[in-house]
Amino acid sequence: MNKKILSLILGSIFMLTAVLTGCGGDNKAQKTENKVIRVACSADFAPFEFQEEGKTEYQGFDMDLIRAIGKEMNYKVEISNIGFDGLIPALEAGNIDLIISGMTINDERKNKVLFSDPYYESGLTIVVRANEDKIKGFTDLEGKKVAVQIGTTGSREAAKIKDCEVKNFNVISECFMELKAGGVDAVINDRPVNDYYLKRTNSEGVKPLNDKLTSENYGMAMRKDNKELQEKINAALKKLKDNGEYQKIYDKWFGVSK
């Protein structure tokens, strides 16, 4: 009897050890778990990527999406924070494997990187001071002062406006501060980020305009020679769209209705 109990205990210990160490289990699964994608974002773009005070993990739609994609691919996702205009150079230098940072797919960038399939539809809008009554749309920005984030599509569009003084800032929060302080007349930036800022962060003294300048799609960026990763990312993105996981993440950050 005692022997039976002893062999049962020993048997259980053996099995538990086997499960914990992966022996006798799925060796392939264990191997792929060691694979890592080095991801970078510019973590100043709520609700896509940001860091809340007191929290160590980066949060946002992009962050949830890339973690879900990593899980789907059986890759470990390591995220680092790099200024927006330093993201593509970091990718080209081989310091990271993938950018997810509310980055718009455009031809200029396509010369340097491979993009995933589009994963979010965005566009540029304007934010002005609450008491502003002359600026109603993009055509009213002629001869005005505009704040934008450096290296962004907002910065590119602002540069096209006639006689417009464009002030480039490292992060979008600095643009809003400059607007409130009266240093510029408007901020040009991505619509969902403007909306989130106005609703959740601090809408005091500023208001959005309805005029939408562009329609843009966000994509994840990879090195030109990394077609293999691009294919895996696209397949995982498609799977998450098909199985409803993408929608869950979308609803968490943007509500049920768009």
Nearer residue to ligand GLN within complex by CB, 153 or 194: 153
Interface with ligand GLN, residue 253, by CB under 6 A = no
Nearer residue to ligand GLN within complex by CB, 73 or 103: 103
**Would you call 133 exposed, middle or buried from its count of C-beta atoms within 10 A (0-12, 13-18, 19+)?**
exposed
Query: Residue 93 gets which letter from DSSP?
Result: T
Interface with ligand GLN, residue 115, by CB under 6 A = no
Contacts of 188 (CB under 8 A, 6+ apart): 124, 125, 126, 141, 146, 147, 148, 154, 155, 157, 158, 213
Angle, CA of 88, 91 and 97, to the nearest 5°: 135
Interface with ligand GLN, residue 60, by CB under 6 A = no
Nearer residue to ligand GLN within complex by CB, 75 or 218: 218
Query: What character string, x for contact with ligand GLN (CB under 6 A) and - otherwise, covers 121-160?
Result: ----------------------------x--xx-------
Interface with ligand GLN, residue 65, by CB under 6 A = no
How far apart are alpha carbons 196 and 253 in whole angstroms?
A: 10
For residue 246, give the nearest of 119, 95, 104, 149 by alpha carbon: 119
| Half-sphere exposure (Cβ direction) of 88: Cα atoms closer than 13 Å | 16
For residue 49, give the nearest of 124, 102, 90 by alpha carbon: 102
Query: What character string, x for contact with ligand GLN (CB under 6 A) and - otherwise, covers 159-198?
Result: -------------------------------x--------
Of 102, 125, 140, 220, which lies in the binding site for ligand GLN, with binding defined by CB under 6 A? 102
Interface with ligand GLN, residue 230, by CB under 6 A = no
Nearer residue to ligand GLN within complex by CB, 61 or 250: 61
How far apart are alpha carbons 256 and 89 in whole angstroms?
A: 36
Return residues touching ligand GLN (CB under 6 A).
42, 45, 84, 101-104, 149, 152-153, 190
